[in-house]
Structure 1
Amino acid sequence: MAIFGLWVINKAGGLVYQRNFADGLTQMTSNEYLVLAGTLHGIHAITSRLSPTGTSSGAHVIEAETFKMNISLTATGTKFVLLTSLAEPSANTVLQKVYEAYADAVMKNPFHNPEMPIRSEGFDIRITALIGTGHT
């Protein structure tokens, strides 16, 4: 069981935070991460419109052969994406704690603009304490 990475995507689909925690993910350039975040933002928007039984908040889990993407959408449209192993049981709990760290360390900073990259040492420290190396 492992947590491989964390992405924070703003309401416009821009990647504002990306961090890898464990071996297993292919290393990509900043531009490749930006393209993937924008693509995921589009997929999330499409899945929110596809519900046959009314409204939907979009995809919460996208599962591949070797990993899962766990997605949490906030009321402001910010998406938190946790890349995990298939058997990771704590993804939703970790996402909730990441959101709490974001609210405390990032959003309470009066100089932070939600559309800009997250540059907060306090947030990084809390994420490291929460996720560490990615192995749970």
Structure 2
Amino acid sequence: MAIYGLWVINKAGGLVYQRNFADGLAQLTSNEYLVLAGTLHGIHAITSRLSPIGSSSGAHVIEGESLKMTILLTATGTKFVLLTSLAETSADAVLQKAYEAYSDAVMKNPFYTPEMPIRSEGFDLRISTLIGDGRTS
């Protein structure tokens, strides 16, 4: 089981934080990550409108042949996306803790401008402590 990466996407669909942890993901350019985040934002918006039972918060898990994307949508519209192996079972808990780290280290920083890229050593450190090298047992 492995955690490959973490993305934070703002409410407009812009990628404000991206970090890879374990080997296994293709190496992409910054622009490619921005395009992927925008595409995921669009897919999430579409899935929130397609629900046959009324209102929906959109896709929560997207699975491929060898990768799972778990999405946490916050009350402010910010999305936390965890890229993991298919067998990873702790994604929801990790996303919740990443959101807590974001709330404490980023949003409480008076010098941070909301919706802008996250450049916080405190947040990076908390994410490193939380996820480490991406390998889970």
Structure 1 residue 126 corresponds to structure 2 residue 132: no
Structure 1 residue 72 corresponds to structure 2 residue 72: yes
> Counterpart of 2:60?
60
Q: Determine what percentage of the aligned residue pairs are the same residue.
A: 84
- What is the CA distance between 1:114 and its match in structure 2? 1.8
> Counterpart of 1:51?
51
Counterpart secondary structure, 2:106: helix
Counterpart secondary structure, 1:46: helix
Counterpart secondary structure, 1:110: coil
- What is the CA distance between 1:113 and its match in structure 2? 1.3
Unmatched tracts of structure 1, length 5 or more: none
TM-score of the aligned structures, taking structure 1 as reference length: 0.99
- What is the CA distance between 1:17 and its match in structure 2? 0.1
Counterpart secondary structure, 1:107: coil
> Counterpart of 1:99?
99
> Counterpart of 1:40?
40
Query: Which letter maps to 1:87?
Result: A
Equivalent runs, 1:105-116 vs 2, <5 Å: 105-116=105-116
Unmatched tracts of structure 2, length 5 or more: none
Query: Which letter maps to 1:4?
Result: Y
TM-score of the aligned structures, taking structure 2 as reference length: 0.99
Write out per-residue CA displacement over residues 101-123 of structure 1, whole angstroms, 9 at most, x where no aligned residue.
00000000011112110000000
How many correspondences in the alignment?
136
Query: Which letter maps to 1:135?
Result: R
Write out per-residue CA displacement over residues 16-73 of structure 1, whole angstroms, 9 at most, x where no aligned residue.
0000000000000000000000000000000000001100000000000001000000
d(CA) in 2 for partners of 1:96, 1:73 = 10
Query: Which letter maps to 1:105?
Result: A
Counterpart secondary structure, 1:96: helix
* Structure 1 vs Structure 2 CA RMSD: 0.4
> Counterpart of 2:117?
117
Query: Which letter maps to 1:66?
Result: S
d(CA) in 1 for partners of 2:27, 2:83 = 14
- What is the CA distance between 1:78 and its match in structure 2? 0.1
d(CA) in 1 for partners of 2:48, 2:4 = 26
Counterpart secondary structure, 1:94: helix
